[in-house]
Structure 1
Amino acid sequence: MAVISRMSVAKSPRQSSYSTNPSLLLAEESFSELLLAKEQDDSGYPDNNSSVKKGSSLVAFVNILCLAIGVGSLQLAYTLRQSGWFGAVFVVLAACIAYLTSIITAKCMYLKPGGGRISGFHEIGYEAFGNIGYYTITVFNILNIMGTVGIYAILSSNNISGMLAQVGVHVRPRLLMLATTAFMCAPTLFTKTLSETLLVSIVGTATSIIVTLVVIVMACVYPIRNGGIRVGSATMDTGLANHYGAIPGGFAVSLSSVSFAYIGTTIVPHIEGSMRRPESFAKVFGAAIAVIASLYVAMSMTGYWAYGSRTLSPITLNFPKSKQQH
């Protein structure tokens, strides 16, 4: 018994070294914390140690606005031309669909068998349908990204070319397309986390909101009345603009066009995974979708009120180019 007592009191060499050198104990505790954080990260739970590298809810909100707003917004008034005033309901309906699908997608990110967080849409396809789902989702995701960048490149290059031509500067649209594409892709090369994209997102969001306000103001200042648009003391003949409550034959095309305006919500996995508090994603995304839907409804209804059956896509084609053209 005395031997057992002495053995229980005696310290092992490892314990003795810790008592004489507290830094070793602190080092092992730090290493244990790192292992625990790694296990939490692999199991799908938030990693508190790396949270400083992630963005806040406000940063996520601005990023969602920047990426989701603006895509297809200039054609929204044209969708009301196809479906009548009832098309405004489709704008709200598409927003609700985008919100629900995004929340479901965010929940799917944590349903990986065995624990862990799914990295993106392609892995969701793999977990659901195997290799076929993986490659199918990957192809559609790549086409979506390339198509979105392509649309912006075409629109921006054509608009810039037209503006430069008015001041006597002629640049080939293809060169402008390459320049705008490089300019749009540059932030993805120099930013790695959600918080680093804040400045770019603020500029993008401000630009989209300014464009929305400009369209609304221009539509209110230069509407079609009595078959023409009054510009100063002159009138541009356009023909009568009719308005309809509902055009059932155009509902399908209108809904598909409106849904395209919310295509930016496909960045859900990346935004949710980059948030410091991913549990707040539903509230943040809901607030962002509400703002986007409000701007879309205002833009579409104002455009259709101003130009009715004469509405073009994009709506900027309805605006008078200059006061000299009359």
Structure 2
Amino acid sequence: MNYDLEKKNSRSSQDAHSVSSDYEAGKHNSDLRAERPSQGSSYQAFFNIVCVVAGTGTLGLPFCLAQGGWIGVAILVLSMVMSIYTGILLIKCLYYNGHTRVASYQDVGAHAFGLWGQGAVWFFHTSVIIGVPVMFFILSGTEIRVLTKESVPGISKEAWIWICCCFVSIPFVLMKTLKEVSLLSMFGVAATAVLVGVATVESIIEYPNRVPFSYDVIVVRNLPTVVATMSVCFGGNVVYTHVEEAMRYPKAFSKVLAYAMMFCCLMYAVVAIPGYLTYGPDAKSPILSSLPENASRKVATIMIIAHVLLAAPVLMTSFALEIERIAHVTVERRGRFGERIWRTLIRLGIMGIVGGIACLVPFFDSFLSLLGAFGNCMLIYVMPIGFYWKLFGWRTMKWYELCWCGIVLVIGLLGCVIGSMDAIKALHRDFTQGREE
């Protein structure tokens, strides 16, 4: 692909201004973003986004408020707005040249900064989109072992991880695109909603029995860490390009994204505020650790397992689609039977790698925290703005847009630095002091 020619065209201020203006008016690329009758609905896209974004990290937000004070609620809303904005910029970059749709986030990086841009996105994108399912399987295997240690004590955590991998392999292999996987997303969102409901109701029930304490409005010394933690609560950029590609009405993506992020923010607030009100500075992460041992807590644990096992296929399908596109695994190139065989082999191979990492790599959660702190902030906040400026030209933006972009970049880079430092400390502690399994 002739990236130099496309870059040269993108440097034209007049053309870039025309493209940007057309986007603002919603008229640009009417053919490229026309209705796609064979694709999924906006509701399916909504569930795919929510299922990926609103994960088990929801339960750690009361602890964030305990660290930073009530200012954390404002930071949460700010993070939501920033994520909506950069997500919209990323999708606009797919249509920057007005002639063809760029296929993926990686290709956007290639069009903007050549091999360096493509390589950077590939590294961070792959580490997140593979690393998170690995953590999901570790979490599900660990929690299932705890739930079943009395009834089936002979099954190890590693065995449960492989059982979970086999379970997820069925929809992962059989469902080709995110349109089909969206059915799982709906159940995943339902599981998350139940989890949120249990944590919220239990916090409210315990509120009259709380120990009296004072609430902080802002804890300055912990503010950078809180900003770094909450800034990655809305990280769904790794799947946005494929979600938009699977939409029947791609022009509706911006609205779908906004509604999905607001729904996630509402769930976060519903857990965080009652949790902090009830447990104050003693709130733990996850908040389930602060709740009393009862049937509700077991239900919440089951919902965690359900969510991670239903969210994993969404992330893994997005990654598999990239690999299949590079390997030209299509019906036109391979034939219907050949396409099915190649797709099955590729996806089983991906599942084998994910399961192997989950069982064999020590302290993987700390490694993923390091990659996630750096990679997530780069993918969510820094790269979309950098790519947009390169492809469209920063001069096409209003002064207040540039100021807003500057704020987003500063917060994104702050999240990179603070989050990476915390993850490095955790890794050092793991390797020097060890950790009980």
Query: TM-score of the superposition, structure 1-length normalised?
Result: 0.75
Aligned partner (choices 174, 186, 195) of residue 211 of structure 1? 195
Q: Which residue number corresponds to residue 110 of structure 2?
A: 126
Aligned partner (choices 85, 90, 94) of residue 109 of structure 1? 94
Q: Which residue number corresponds to residue 42 of structure 2?
A: 57
Count of residue pairs brought into register by the alignment: 267
The separation in 1 between residues aligned to 2:210 and 2:44, in whole angstroms, is 47
The offset of 1:189, in angstroms, is 2.0
The offset of 1:291, in angstroms, is 0.9
Opposite residue 55 of structure 1, the aligned amino acid is G
Q: Check 1:223–1:164 CA distance in 2 against 1; reply closer, same or farther (3 A cut).
A: farther
Aligned partner (choices 253, 260, 265) of residue 288 of structure 1? 260
Deviations 1:251-298 (A, max 9, x none): 111122112321234311111111111011111111111111111111
The separation in 2 between residues aligned to 1:226 and 1:203, in whole angstroms, is 34
**Superposed, which structure 2 residues align to 1:21-100 within 5 Å?**
45-46=32-33, 51-100=36-85
The separation in 2 between residues aligned to 1:224 and 1:241, in whole angstroms, is 13
Q: Check 1:87–1:295 CA distance in 2 against 1; reply closer, same or farther (3 A cut).
A: same
**Superposed, which structure 2 residues align to 1:129-208 within 5 Å?**
129-165=113-149, 167=151, 169=153, 171-208=155-192
Aligned partner (choices 232, 235, 239) of residue 267 of structure 1? 239
Deviations 1:175-232 (A, max 9, x none): 22232244345433221233322321111110111111111112122348454xxxxx
The separation in 2 between residues aligned to 1:104 and 1:197, in whole angstroms, is 25
SS at match of 1:260: coil
Q: Check 1:135–1:225 CA distance in 2 against 1; reply closer, same or farther (3 A cut).
A: same
Structure 2: runs of 5 or more not aligned: 1-28, 296-437
The separation in 1 between residues aligned to 2:50 and 2:114, in whole angstroms, is 33
SS at match of 2:182: helix
The separation in 1 between residues aligned to 2:291 and 2:49, in whole angstroms, is 29
Q: Check 1:161–1:250 CA distance in 2 against 1; reply closer, same or farther (3 A cut).
A: same
The separation in 1 between residues aligned to 2:141 and 2:66, in whole angstroms, is 27
RMSD: 2.4
The separation in 1 between residues aligned to 2:216 and 2:182, in whole angstroms, is 42
Q: Which residue number corresponds to residue 320 of structure 1?
A: 292
CA contact (8 A) 2:51 2:185 kept: yes
The separation in 1 between residues aligned to 2:213 and 2:148, in whole angstroms, is 31
Deviations 1:95-146 (A, max 9, x none): 111100100001001114x721111111111111111111111011000112
**How high is the sequence identity, in percent, across the aligned residues?**
27
CA contact (8 A) 2:210 2:279 kept: no
Specify which structure has the higher proportion of helix.
2
The offset of 1:241, in angstroms, is 5.2
The separation in 2 between residues aligned to 1:207 and 1:301, in whole angstroms, is 20
Q: Check 1:214–1:312 CA distance in 2 against 1; reply closer, same or farther (3 A cut).
A: same
The offset of 1:152, in angstroms, is 1.7
The separation in 2 between residues aligned to 1:278 and 1:99, in whole angstroms, is 16
The offset of 1:94, in angstroms, is 0.9
Aligned partner (choices 217, 228, 247) of residue 219 of structure 2? 247
Opposite residue 290 of structure 2, the aligned amino acid is N
Q: Tell me which moved more, 241-250 or 270-279.
A: 241-250
SS at match of 1:136: helix
Q: Tell me which moved more, 65-74 or 158-167.
A: 158-167
The separation in 1 between residues aligned to 2:92 and 2:180, in whole angstroms, is 25
The separation in 2 between residues aligned to 1:152 and 1:241, in whole angstroms, is 35
The separation in 2 between residues aligned to 1:249 and 1:187, in whole angstroms, is 46
CA contact (8 A) 1:219 1:302 kept: yes
The separation in 1 between residues aligned to 2:217 and 2:230, in whole angstroms, is 17
CA contact (8 A) 1:90 1:255 kept: yes
The separation in 2 between residues aligned to 1:311 and 1:283, in whole angstroms, is 35
Aligned partner (choices 189, 193, 206) of residue 222 of structure 1? 206
The separation in 1 between residues aligned to 2:247 and 2:171, in whole angstroms, is 19
CA contact (8 A) 1:71 1:261 kept: no
Q: Which has the larger radius of gyration?
A: 1
The offset of 1:168, in angstroms, is 6.3
CA contact (8 A) 1:224 1:307 kept: no
